[in-house]
Amino acid sequence: MGRLVCVSNRISLPRKSAAPGGLAVGILSALKRTGGVWFGWGGDTTEQDPPTEPDIHIRDGVTYATIELRQSEYELYYNGYSNDLLWPLFHYFLRGMRYSNEERDAYESVNRSFAQKLSPLLQPQDLIWVHDYHLIPLGRLLREAGVKRPLGFFLHIPFPNIEMLRVLPTYAELLRDLTHYDVIGFQTENDLKGFHSGIEHLFGAEAIRSDGRIRVGDRVLRAEVFPIGVDVDSMQAEAIAAMETDVVKRMIDSLMSRSLMIGVDRLDYSKGLVERFSAYQQFLETYPDNIGRITYIQIAPLSRTDVRAYADIRKALEQAAGRTNGRFADTDWTPIRYLNRNFPHGTLSGFLRAANVGVVTPLRDGMNLVAKEFVAAQDIDNPGVLILSTLAGAARELGSALLVNPYDTRAVSHAMQTALSMPLAERRERHMAMLEVVKRNDISSWTNRFVEALEASQRDQSRPRVLAS
């Protein structure tokens, strides 16, 4: 195969002191195999016209090409259209959505800038893989720039049904933009069905062929499910090593032999943190024997602080934690430790391994890798229990978790009690079933399957077009 060129909204140059996590693990392993390119915004903005050429760095055989964005456009494109419109819409939160033509124009303009600065870097045999909702129009704009190479797009967040998507004034343009890619990847079958509903609405049911491929005009594209995973071996090794570090030992010592319940979520209204805090308070009310015997640590690093909705959620969580602590705390015990800060990935893996219960209860999530990391980090001889939202993509794979509706605080509080009282044999059985799935659908499997689909689309292009279904 030729080079793999990955494109994402934001990239960071690797640092020796920080191991890559999440998406970076899979992308970097694939890029290193092909000597590929990772292209995206480097984090700098300017009040002037940005440089016309990317800043190039080569590390371990991977080329990092970063661009600058104009500050005014960044605000409208990222904080505005991407996160005040597409993010809430795709997560089914209409109350948090607002549409602006000015923001839509900035979204198009930034994507055009990506296309203009990426095109000169491309080589004849490249495979191009675009990531996430910030860059949906990029495929069309690359085609307009003359790029004929296979283009892939992976959506990390949910894709809504057409009845939700039609709320967007430009929904038809969004769907047409997606059809310029050769391979479109989704986290779950539900997301794929949502996309199919949009294709049927716009192009007719006959656009979806019997083999699952989609024909629009003279183009045939693949739309498939590629559930993203984690690096299981690395996560297990990190978690074991972290248990010997001072910070994890101090955390464990501070529990004073109490059980540990943990949540690790970016501070976002889609993560269901307010509902989770309410469920924990109801758990203490309903099962008072746990008072003074359990500590709930919620790690929620700040995100998108310029978006008003995120300031609101932070205030609501601080008030909820204060109410619970004010009601139940004692001189030597705090029910909730709520931390608005980040920790190194290795430290977090140690926290997850030490936990008796992991709580992952988003109101809607494309996948949620914390759920999979919790499973990977556990001690197989004495594993903790995962409480998982049925509205997270991970619930399609981790059926042996305690599955809950995050809006049902009574059910979540009952699951907390069930998790804490679960016998060891059942904990082991549930954990082993989930670990097998997490290993089978790990991060390497995800990247390999998507790249193979891109390569297959390249072979499809070289065959004569067959227009019959």
Do 4-229+444-462 and 233-440 agree at the fold level?
yes
Say which CATH architecture domain 233-440 belongs to.
Answer: 3-Layer(aba) Sandwich (3.40)
Query: What does each of the 469 residues of the chain score in pLDDT, given as a tens digit?
Result: 679 999 999 987 876 545 455 567 778 877 887 789 999 999 999 998 899 899 999 988 899 999 999 999 999 999 999 999 999 999 999 987 899 999 999 999 999 999 999 999 999 999 999 999 999 999 999 999 999 999 999 999 999 999 999 999 999 999 999 999 999 999 999 999 999 999 999 999 999 999 999 999 999 999 999 999 999 999 999 999 999 999 999 999 999 999 999 999 999 999 999 999 999 999 999 999 999 999 999 999 877 656 666 778 889 999 999 999 999 999 999 999 999 988 999 999 999 999 999 999 999 999 999 999 999 999 999 999 999 999 999 999 999 999 999 999 999 999 999 999 999 999 999 999 999 999 999 998 999 999 999 999 887 766 655 444 4
Any idea where the domains of the chain sit in the sequence?
4-229+444-462, 233-440
Match domain 4-229+444-462 to its CATH number in 3.40.640.10, 3.30.565.10, 3.30.1360.40, 3.40.50.2000. 3.40.50.2000
Using DSSP, state whether 64 is helix, strand or coil.
Answer: strand
Active site residue 156: yes
Q: Among 91, 131, 156, 180, which one carries the catalytic annotation?
A: 156
What per-residue string of b and e applies to 306-341 under the rule 16 or more CB within 10 Å gives b? Answer: ebebbeebbeebeebbeebbeebeeeebbbbebeee
DSSP states of 286-310: H-GGGTTTEEEEEE-----TTSHHH
Q: Among 84, 191, 365, 442, which one carries the catalytic annotation?
A: 365
CB 239 within 8 A of CB 350: yes
Using DSSP, state whether 339 is helix, strand or coil.
Answer: strand
DSSP 8-state symbol, 262: E
Active site residue 131: no
